[in-house]
Every structure is written in C-alpha cells, then in structure tokens.
Amino acid sequence: MAKNLAIAGITGAVGQEFLQILEQRDFPFKSLKMLASSRSAGKKITFKGVEYTVEEMTENSFSGIDIALFSAGGGRSKQFAPAAVKAGAVVVDNSSAFRMDPTVPLVVPEVNPEAIAAHKGIIANPNCSTIIANVPVWPLHKANPVKRMIVSTYQAVSGAGQAGMAELFEQTKELLDGKEPTCEKFKYQIGFNLFSHDSNIGPNGYNEEEMKMVNETHKIFSCPEMAITCTCVRVPVPRAHCESISLEFSESISPDEVRQILSAAPGVTVMDDRENNRFPMPIDATGQDDCFVGRIREDESVSGHRGINLWVVGDQIRKGAALNAVQIAEKLL
C-alpha cells in the first residue's frame, strides 16, 4: 500500500541516496515531503520527473506522514522524531540517537526483521560498520555460534558525509600541487594518509565507533555473551568500508562450509578468487546493494579448526545507511 513519505536530511549524502534507492526499488508512495535545515529550505529537487521544494523541518512537518526516513544527525533526530511519532508517523532513524534505547528496535533486515513489529514509533538503523559486518556474520553465527569476533575496519570518508568526501578530493589536489592540505572536516590530513577513527576515545581506550560495533551487534544478534573487539580506522577511500573480520566458532568449520553458507545468504556476494588473488575492493562495492566477502580462510591460530578469517566490503552510504533504512520501510509496508 502506498504511503505518505517524508525524508529528513534530504540534502545530505544519505538523503540523496534515499532518493536513488526509492526510485530504483520503485517504493510505493502517495506523497513525498523533503525536509532539511533552514539553510536548505527553498531548494528545488527533481525526483521521478516531479520538482519538489525542500522545506525546513519543524515539529509541524509530519502531519499526515506515514513513514519518515531520518538522516539529519542525532541531535535533530532527538528533537524532531518524537514530534513525527506524535503526528502518527513511523520513524526510521539513521543516527545513533535511539540505537541503544531498549524500547527501540535496532534492525538489519537480513538479520532480525522480526524486531520491527515491536516498534513504538521509532526504528533505529545501525551504524554503517555494524551493518556491513552483521550481514555476512549472521548466517554463519546461525549455522555455528560465534564465540569471538575481532574486527579491524578501513572506513571510507563517506562515513563523514559529503563534507568528508569533498575534503579528500580537495586535499588530494592540494597535495599533488605541492600545497599544504586544508583540514576542516577532519582533524588530520586524510589525503595519502590514514588515522584512527575520528570519534571520541572513551575511558576504556576504545573510540565511539568501536563501541558502537560491539554494543549494536550484541543487541541485533540478541547475543550479549559474544566476545567482540574492534579497531576502527579512517582511510583515504571515497566510498565503501572494508573490514577484516576474524571469527572463532563453537564447533569446527571449514572455509568451504563458510563459502557455501555465504553463497546462499541474502545481501552477500562471495568474491573469493585465490588463483587470481582477486578479492573485494571498495570499487567493487560502490553503488552496490550487497556486502562482498573474500579472503575466506582458516585462522590457523585457533585450535580445533574453529577459526575463520574474512574480508568484507560494503557501500557505507548504501547498505550501511540508506538502503538498510529503505528495506526497513519496505517491511513496514
């Protein structure tokens, strides 16, 4: 059934991706309201042959709206999502504002779609790195429970939005021209460089991004006993995050079994060509819906043939954000 739809944060990287995905998937909507900050109000955006005027998001923006896709930042989600719910909309929120709220479902549709039914007006979209890890790890965990997961991420600048991508491009030009790089979005040079993820470090020495992956995976998998540790790094890649994932299983498992499980898993493409040393790269996943998996091999440091190493690549703006939210909205239909 077609719904009245609103997109909050329409002018951002994820907001623009929402439009592409809604069109590509032919999402049924009766009306569409495009919302942003006062800076963007009045801009014109053409979607499916119709010109829309961007409106400033206020608490009165959601009258008659059935589903609101939010990607406007945590502060604005906390400010405006309750008003949307009060007006009768279901909010699918892409920020971290509600993810760990025990009353809010945190959903990856390939993993826990049943959680959607418990919503009280808000459904949270997980962190991009969490989604990209969870899509391939979940079917393996179902087949053979994972006891421990070690993740190292190589995160594209798209995780910092359009400003992050623009800064990488600008710095690359500056450095090639022999100029000092302009650092505005990021504290440190990202062109021809990488650094520990640019989120706050907690008292335990982990940054916020690392703890999001730990806590969100526990919630999504309903498996608080799984041991998880992460190291998150920002790399000079425009789009698509990469993750090195080492898994310790409860029982023995072979690389062939892993390939077989992942080949049948929704949202996963196996790209594991050892003979030609051809494995997933960011340019493979950019613009694609699936998470790509390769380097599937036994972790020989784990006893009993219970360890597997994976290399996972996924489009951060797409499956890591906009697509996951649209898939949730499709389930709501």
Give the three-state DSSP class for 158.
helix
| Stated pTM of the model | 0.96
Percent of the chain at pLDDT above 90? 98
pLDDT tops 90 at residue 1: no
Q: In whole numbers, what is the pLDDT of the chain averaged over residues?
A: 97
Q: Give the angle subtended at the CA of 290 by the CAs of 287 and 292, to the nearest 5°.
A: 100
Predicted confidence at residue 325, as pLDDT, reads 98
Q: Looking at residues 26-38, what average pLDDT do you find?
A: 95
Q: Which residue, 166, 149, 196, is CA-closest to 312?
A: 149
Q: Which residue, 157, 194, 190, 200, is CA-closest to 182?
A: 190
| Catalytic site positions | 128, 241
Q: What is the pLDDT of residues 196-231, one digit of tens each?
A: 999 999 999 999 999 999 999 999 999 999 999 999
**229 Cβ partners below 8 Å, 6+ apart?**
149, 150, 151, 210, 214
Q: What is the pLDDT of residues 292-314, one digit of tens each?
A: 999 999 999 999 999 999 999 99
Give the orientation angle of helix 323-332 with respect to helix 13-24, to 10 degrees: 50
**Structural domains of the chain sorted by starting position, each given as residue range(s) with its CATH number in brackets:** 3-126+321-332 (3.40.50.720), 130-316 (3.30.360.10)
Structure tokens at 62: 């959601």
Q: Give the angle subtended at the CA of 325 by the CAs of 16 and 147, to the nearest 5°.
A: 130
